[in-house]
Amino acid sequence: MPKLQLSIFDKFMLLLAVLAVMGLALGMVAGQTDPQNDIWIAFAGLAYPFFLLANLIFVIFWAFRRRFIFALVTLAIMALGWKPLNATYQFFGDEGSTVKESEHYVRLMTYNVHQFKKYGENNDVSTRDQIFKLLEGQNPDVICFQEFFTRRKGEFDLIDSVKKRLKLKYYYFVPSVDNNYEAAGLAIFSRYPIDNKGEVPFSQMPGNGSIYADIKVEGQLFRIYNVHFQSISFQKEDYDYIDKVTTKMNTEYKSSRRIASMLKAAFERRSEQVKIMKSEMQKCKLPFVIAGDFNDTPASYSVTQITKSLKNAFIEKGSGFGKTYNGAFPNFQIDYIATTKDFDVINHHVSKEKLSDHFPVRSDLRLNFSLESDDEY
């Protein structure tokens, strides 16, 4: 067999391709690697979509250069990471419609409403009304709000607005910020009566945590968890710096180090929060849905572990990248709906109206379990 002849250019590109494959491989194992044990793999998991794109470009490049062995090896390595690939991108899906196909389905939404205001702005009636118009059009049976905001009275008494405008008269609201005038926190609103409710607190940061509500639909009792995991907590100057890096390729050591430190802290805090949540879920004897703002990407440790053994609604019925964050970074899917095996996921839809710093996620679910079900998860 004749020896493969490579030009200097090909050798240089091969070096870049090897680096891209190494990054992809690290990103592929991020879902199984606790950031508290290896933080660098967590960073690779965050960059997984970019490594994936780079390797796809190299496949096309090697095919164009007729270096088919390199293209096949790259494809084989990409195929080994089928699970994170499947969680990141879906080719075919079902978005459903604004009207449920069956009254027996439960339409569930999750939405981080950023206190009903646009990023960096104050509360205004226009944004509030646009959000309610969007939600009225989706007609949810149950909605999980993160960063829900309400005042005790007046035009921003939003508990009253949700009950009246969305016809969701049952609710459970746990504020993380509360005074005599206004409050903000996690909320679950339901068309169905709430049989039981509770809180799963996370100790590290106010505003993060989980609440749950047990609801009964057609004689079948199940639990809904609403979660809000640790965010990166970037400030305006951090987003300005990221914009400068991406548009002008202008980096600063101090700013880069600050952002890396914030990412590291968020990875590690989410790891702790996921362990708390997993312990809670394992004790639950009811079928359940978990939904909310996970603040992490599909290949990450936190998302992989929290949805392990569950049906991820995006994997079941989503399409494309399923982007749910309306911001500069991380510009990926960070809001999720997942269920135990007792549900059938009918569809998955992400509304693209830019009213909050997140997009709302909607899924219709079919209850597929009996009242006698007492499996533990």
Residue with more model confidence, 248 or 336 = 336
Query: 373 forms bridges with which residues in the sheet?
Result: none
* pLDDT score, position 235: 46
> Do 80 and 212 fall within a single domain?
no
pLDDT, position 2: 56
Amino acid at 199: E
Share of the chain above pLDDT 70, in %: 88
Q: At which residue do the structure tokens 């005599």 appear?
A: 180
Q: Which two tokens stand for residue 341?
A: 């095996």
Q: Is residue 357 part of a domain?
A: yes
Worst-scoring range by mean pLDDT, 5-9, 89-93, 192-196, 367-371?
367-371
Contacts of 64 (CB under 8 A, 6+ apart): none
- CA torsion angle for 258, 263, 268, 274 (degrees, to 10)? 150
Q: What are phi and psi of 236, to 5 degrees?
A: -55, -40
**Whether 223 and 351 share a structural domain:** yes
Q: What is the pLDDT of residue 260?
A: 85
Same domain, 129 and 33: no
pLDDT of residue 124: 77
Lowest mean pLDDT among 109-113, 218-222, 327-331: 327-331
Residue 155 confidence (pLDDT):
86
Instruction: Kindly state whether residue 228 falls inside one of the protein's structural domains.
Output: yes
Tell me: pLDDT of 162 over 90: yes
Same-domain status, 142 and 75: no
**The predicted structure's pLDDT at residue 232:** 78
Which residues lie closer than 8 Å to 359 by C-beta, 6 or more apart? 323, 324, 325, 326, 335, 350, 351, 352, 353
Residues 248 and 121 in one domain: yes
Whether residue 230 is found in the same domain as residue 257: yes
Q: What percent of the chain has pLDDT over 90?
A: 72
* Residue closest to 144 by CA, chosen among 100, 103, 112, 107: 112
Using 50, 70 and 90 to split pLDDT, how confident is the model at 251? low
Give dist(CA 43, CA 231) in Å, integer: 15
Q: What is the pLDDT of residue 328?
A: 66
What does the pLDDT read at residue 185?
94
- Mean pLDDT is lowest, of 75-79, 95-99, 325-329, for 325-329
Average pLDDT, the chain: 89
Of 36, 63, 88, the one marking the end of a domain is: 88
- Would residue 95 count as lying in a domain? no
Q: Kindly state whether residues 149 and 120 are assigned to the same domain.
A: yes
State pLDDT tens for residues 356-366.
989 999 999 99
Q: Tell me the average pLDDT across 188-199.
A: 97
CATH number at residue 343: 3.60.10.10
Q: Across residues 101-122, what is the average pLDDT? A: 87
Which pLDDT value is given to residue 177? 86
Gap between the Cα atoms of 254 and 258, Å rounded:
6
Residues 263 and 187 in one domain: yes
Task: Tell whether 254 and 198 lie within a shared domain.
Answer: yes
Cα–Cα distance, 121 to 217 (Å, whole number): 39
Same domain, 35 and 111: no
What pLDDT shows up at residue 373? 45
**Among 16-30, 123-137, 282-296, whose mean pLDDT is lowest?**
123-137
312 lies in a domain? yes
Note the pLDDT tens digit of each residue in 39-68.
Answer: 999 999 999 999 999 999 999 999 999 899
> Is 267 found in the same domain as 229?
yes
Q: Are residues 130 and 42 in the same domain?
A: no
- pLDDT of 376 above 90: no
pLDDT at position 239 over 60: no
Residue 253, pLDDT score: 61
The parent domain of residue 225 ranges over 105-367
Q: Which of 114-118, 176-180, 369-373 has the highest average model confidence (pLDDT)?
A: 176-180
Count of domains in the chain?
A: 2
Which of the pair, 121 or 245, is modelled with greater confidence? 121
User: In this structure, is residue 147 part of a structural domain?
Assistant: yes
DSSP for residue 348: -
